[in-house]
Structure 1
C-alpha cells in the first residue's frame, strides 16, 4: 500500500497526533483494540490514525479523548483543529489529569485552583 499524498504540514500534524495518541494509549495501559472499543471506532481505523494515515473528525477525537480520559482540546491542537494559544488552559489541565500520583479528588481540586488563578472557571467541567 502506497503512502497517502498529504501536504507536509497536514502529514506532519497527523504523524504528531498519531504518536501522541499511541503514547497516551500506552500510558493508559490500553491495547489498540481496547481503546477502539471504548472510543466506538474500528480497530483498523484507530490504527490508521495512530500511524498518521487518517485524519479523524473532531467528533472521533472527542470519543478517543473521553476513552483515554484526556482533554479533547489537546487532541484538537495536535490535529491542527484548534490553535494552541486558545487552548493553553486545557493543556495545563490535561497534564494535571495525566499525573498518576494524584487521586481524582486531588486532580479536581488542582483544576479548580488553576481555573480560579487564570480566570477560566467557565471551562467545561470534567469528572
Structure 2
C-alpha cells in the first residue's frame, strides 16, 4: 500500500469543496465529520481513514476511488475509469437521474468489453433490450 499523500489530498479536497460551492462547515456536516477535523485534513495535518474518505466523497458527490488515489491508498493504475465516473457525477448540467443512467450505460459497456473492475459503489448495469441488431444496452431501437 502506498503512503498517504495528505498534502495534495487536502488541496484536492479543498478544491472539490469549493467547486461544489460548500463551506467547510457544510461539507463537515454532510460528511458527518467535525469542522476542525475536516480543516486539519484540508491543511494536510490529518490522515483520514478510507471510511472518512468515502463519507467525504459521498458528500462531495465524487468517486471515493478518486480520493483513495489522491490519498495514496489506491495506485494510479487502479484508477481506470474513475475520471469518467467523476466527470459524470460532478457535472452540474445534468440531473441525478441522468447521471445514474449515464453511469449504468458506461459500466455496462465496460463489462461488455471485459473490464470487470467496476467500483463496488457503482450502480448496476442498465437492462439490456435487444431488437434487431441493436447492441446498445438499455436503449430500445
TM-score by length of 1: 0.81
The alpha-carbon deviation at position 36 of structure 1 amounts to 0.9
Matches within 5 A, 1:1-127: 13-119=5-111, 120=116, 123=119, 124-126=121-123
- 1:12-65 alpha-carbon deviations (Å, 9 max, x no partner): x21111111111111111110111111111111111110111110111111111
Listed as ranges, the gaps of 5+ residues in structure 1 are 1-8
CA distance in structure 2 between the partners assigned to 1:122 and 1:81 by the alignment: 17
Q: What do you get for the CA RMSD once the two structures are aligned? A: 2.0
Over alpha carbons, which structure has the higher Rg?
A: 2
CA distance in structure 1 between the partners assigned to 2:99 and 2:23 by the alignment: 25
| Greater fraction of residues in helix | 1
Equivalenced residues, count: 117
- Specify whether residues 121 and 84 from structure 1 end up closer, same or farther in structure 2 by C-alpha distance, changes over 3 A only: closer
